[in-house]
Structure 1
């Protein structure tokens, strides 16, 4: 059955903007990530209007990252600066300099963008960086992670607030359709730019974006995908609380609490999802090679359970595996986790 037709998107009112930004009223400084596209231009315009109506509210610093990846990016950054100045918002243009990678460019550009935003936030004493991610972006993120086989945590997609590089990334528009931001700019007579890479089918996100109309015909629209992410985030929070309890339980059962790990017998009685999450936690805590991949941790758990089924008595090593810079050792009595020895260099 096709979803019901909806009317034209409505602009965001001043009252709605007050609600959208209310969580950050007490902040001293807010950094706004403004690229010049419709979403971020609406973020700057709505934040400026909200700030004028707030007594003692935060200072606003709009930051445009010029990636230098296409002609006209410097001109677009200057266009953002003109609007920011007219709104009474401080504006900074920060350039991503240096060599650019030949592959994995979107991810590299994203990492550079957040790094430069964090550097600017630090210089201005800000703890919050606001981005203009919308309901549409959330839906695309769910699809991207679904296609990669993500677990519950990954399918929870983006949260309204997350920590990154010591700063709070805030997303006030996460439940707002992009069409409403465009309608807001249209009513305010504010121009914006369209990044052609957003339609470049050489990249994953634009390809998934192109599928959205067909998926929406089957009821898999941005609203439902965002709702799915919200429900999975709720389930993920509940599971993490269970993992907290399991970690405390295992600590009480372990007579070697000085060293990270679990008693084999106590670990064995837990449910599979809790085991996977506990292993993820301790490996990420001990390892030195970034976050462990979920699939590899699941494979490790299978190997641990298979080896434990053949356990005898004593402290004989039943399995030893290295993952994400952590060394996991299984004996009949204990699963221990310690930093892995340095990798041998090969000539």
Structure 2
């Protein structure tokens, strides 16, 4: 059923005007189906209302709405029911997705994030939706960059959230990533769109909330959300360029994969600049099915440096990282495979 048209009040140059929505959602036109993640806050309610308006302007893919109830707050069930009622007014099908089971004592936000996307991706598949849409904003991007900077992230981490990324075959897009949160809040108030306030957004036990409180102080010194987001864009561009060069170097080495062990000439690591060599090693790990998370960047850097030094000296070397065993022969070839099981003494 087609979503009910919402009369626009925005000026023509507003990103949430009819013309602005066409630009914001242009990547969704060819999608077989769309799943919008809506929590009930002003950002996500603006997303749902904007998608409904966009759908009323032409022939669009079917739009589904989902709210994740993490089971961490008693109010969450009522908030999900609120979203369901608002979605029904727009003739949009809604589903509440519950995160059940025991919750971790520490790292709850990261665990909740992983559970949220797992549930959303599963539901997207059930709904025959190819695209997952979330309402991340410019402010969210700035906070993400600062959090990753504080953890010593590399270039990939400083690129922040991408406008489009793949999640197990589902395309995750963030059309509001260039919009300030204040613009969406003002728009909700002007249009009379109802929303709820999540008290956890003011809970300073969470790192993102603490960074959010610091952002006005940083902005007063010139480090605004817009400049942090621009830093992320530049980092993403540089990251993409380095990835391309790393792929080219990796392919030139004509890597071989036999019986679960990948091998390539160590000369790739010594001939290329350090950052390209680092990415070649990361790429080799991925190609061998041994994925490496961002928290192990320092370990990967140390391994790359040791391999480069040993290869330059024509020495053999054996080391492990992230469940992988790396072996460099004196002949100058790197062999990479799963780490063998460790045998403990009686």
Aligned to 1:154, what secondary structure does the other structure show? helix
Match of 1:7 in 2: none
1:41-60 correspondence runs (5 A): 41-55=45-59, 57-60=60-63
Say which of 69, 74, 85 aligns to 1:82. Answer: 85
Q: For the residues of structure 2 that align with 1:11 and 1:195, how far apart are their CA atoms?
A: 25
Deviation at 1:320, TM superposition (A): 0.6
Relative to 1, partners in 2 of residues 1:39 and 1:310: Cα closer, same or farther, differing over 3 Å? Answer: same
Match of 1:181 in 2: 184
Provide, for residues 28-63 of structure 1, a one-character-per-residue CA deviation record: whole Å limited to 9, x for no partner: 2100000001111110000001101122x1111110
Deviation at 1:99, TM superposition (A): 1.1
Say whether residues 1:121 and 2:124 are aligned partners.
yes
Match of 1:322 in 2: 320
Provide, for residues 86-125 of structure 1, a one-character-per-residue CA deviation record: whole Å limited to 9, x for no partner: 1111111111111111111101111111111111111111
Aligned to 2:253, what secondary structure does the other structure show? helix
Match of 1:133 in 2: 136
Provide, for residues 194-219 of structure 1, a one-character-per-residue CA deviation record: whole Å limited to 9, x for no partner: 11111211111111111000000111
Provide, for residues 141-193 of structure 1, a one-character-per-residue CA deviation record: whole Å limited to 9, x for no partner: 10111111111111111111101122111101010111111111111112211
Match of 2:41 in 1: 37
Structure 2 unaligned residues grouped into runs of 5+: 1-13
Say which of 165, 169, 177 aligns to 1:166. Answer: 169
Q: For the residues of structure 2 that align with 1:287 and 1:168, how far apart are their CA atoms?
A: 22
1:1-347 correspondence runs (5 A): 12-55=16-59, 57-251=60-254, 260-288=262-290, 290-291=292-293, 293-311=296-314, 318-332=316-330, 333-344=332-343
Relative to 1, partners in 2 of residues 1:16 and 1:265: Cα closer, same or farther, differing over 3 Å? Answer: closer
Q: For the residues of structure 2 that align with 1:288 and 1:245, how far apart are their CA atoms?
A: 20
Structure 1 unaligned residues grouped into runs of 5+: 1-9, 313-317
Deviation at 1:346, TM superposition (A): 8.4
TM-score of the pair, normalised by structure 1: 0.90
Conserved in 2, the CA contact under 8 Å of 1:11 and 1:181? no
Match of 1:4 in 2: none
Deviation at 1:241, TM superposition (A): 1.1
TM-score of the pair, normalised by structure 2: 0.90
Deviation at 1:310, TM superposition (A): 3.8
